[in-house]
């Protein structure tokens, strides 16, 4: 694939992935990683390049959410600091633990949380704007580790869990995105030290498409009613879980 064609292809992928991720709070890493894996990159390189791109795309998305009033600072720090620790640990062990193991481990969790969110979406969503759940810190640690190892999963774990506890969807999504920028930056440093960088056109395409689409994702989050955002997130999580089941049965 020519560099220009590669750039345009991944710019389109980055824009679509960021719109989904910005509106629902998840699926950028999984979408982008799947494309890189389809091109033949091993899981280690796929995860590395997705995190390189996410450092910029999540930064743009997180700042857009911050400007839109979708971020709660206490929750941000409760997720970001443990998330960085988890991401660094994930990078260190990625060479020894197959990424498929982590993806399989997430399948039952995603299916269970998806069902929980579907049931919650039928009721009035809580409005715990300033509440920081006691599980936020260990959740950030787990999500950061899983995200670095599997090439995605930070948002799927954090957003679904926090929304299932009744937090306001737009505040969860905005805060998680801003924290993800910090976590991705930490993981990217680790990957650069271990595997370096290649496929620059693909990475730049993911960054360009994601940065352009980030403000639209943040606006979409603010316009979506809480129940609609919850049900859309539930559908996405169930889809990811069922996709994992299909992959396991191949």
pTM above 0.85, yes or no: no
Cβ-based burial of 250 (10 A; exposed 0-12, middle 13-18, buried ≥19)? exposed
pLDDT at position 138, please?
95
Number of residues that make up the chain? 250
Q: Count CA atoms closer than 13 A to 68's CA, side-chain side.
A: 27
Angle in degrees, CA 81, 78, 189, rounded to 5: 20
Q: What does the pLDDT look like over 122-146, one tens digit per residue? A: 555 455 555 677 789 999 999 999 8
Task: Judge contact between 95 and 215, C-beta under 8 A.
Answer: no
pLDDT in tens, 178-225: 999 999 999 999 988 887 766 678 788 888 988 888 788 777 767 777
Burial of 9-26, coded b for 16+ CB within 10 Å and e otherwise, reads: bbbebbbbbbbbbbbbbb
Please provide the DSSP assignment of 146-173 as one string.
Answer: HHHHHS--HHHHHHHHHHHTT--HHHHH
pLDDT digits (tens, 9 = 90+) for 7-45: 888 888 888 877 777 666 677 777 677 677 766 777 778
């Amino acid at each position: 694939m020519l560099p220009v064609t590669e750039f345009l292809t991944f710019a389109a992928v980055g824009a679509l992935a960021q719109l989904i991720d910005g509106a629902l709070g998840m699926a950028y890493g999984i979408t982008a990683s799947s494309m890189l894996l389809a091109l033949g990159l091993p899981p280690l390189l796929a995860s590395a390049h997705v995190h390189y791109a996410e450092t910029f795309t999540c930064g743009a998305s997180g700042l857009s959410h911050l400007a839109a009033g979708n971020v709660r600072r206490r929750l941000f720090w409760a997720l970001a600091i443990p998330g960085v620790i988890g991401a660094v640990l994930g990078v260190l062990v990625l060479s020894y633990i197959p990424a498929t193991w982590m993806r399989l481990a997430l399948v039952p969790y995603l299916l269970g949380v998806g069902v929980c969110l579907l049931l919650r979406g039928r009721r009035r969503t809580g409005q715990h704007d300033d509440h920081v759940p006691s599980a936020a810190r260990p959740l950030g640690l787990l999500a950061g580790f899983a995200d670095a190892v599997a090439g995605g999963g930070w948002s799927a774990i954090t957003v679904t869990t926090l929304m299932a506890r009744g937090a306001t969807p737009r505040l969860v999504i905005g805060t998680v995105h801003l924290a993800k920028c910090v976590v991705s930056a930490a993981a990217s440093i680790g990957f650069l030290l271990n595997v370096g960088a290649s496929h620059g056109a693909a990475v730049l395409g993911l960054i360009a498409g994601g940065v352009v689409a980030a403000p639209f994702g943040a606006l979409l989050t603010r316009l979506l009613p809480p129940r609609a955002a919850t049900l859309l997130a539930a559908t996405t999580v169930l889809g990811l879980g069922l996709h994992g089941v299909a992959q396991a049965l191949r």
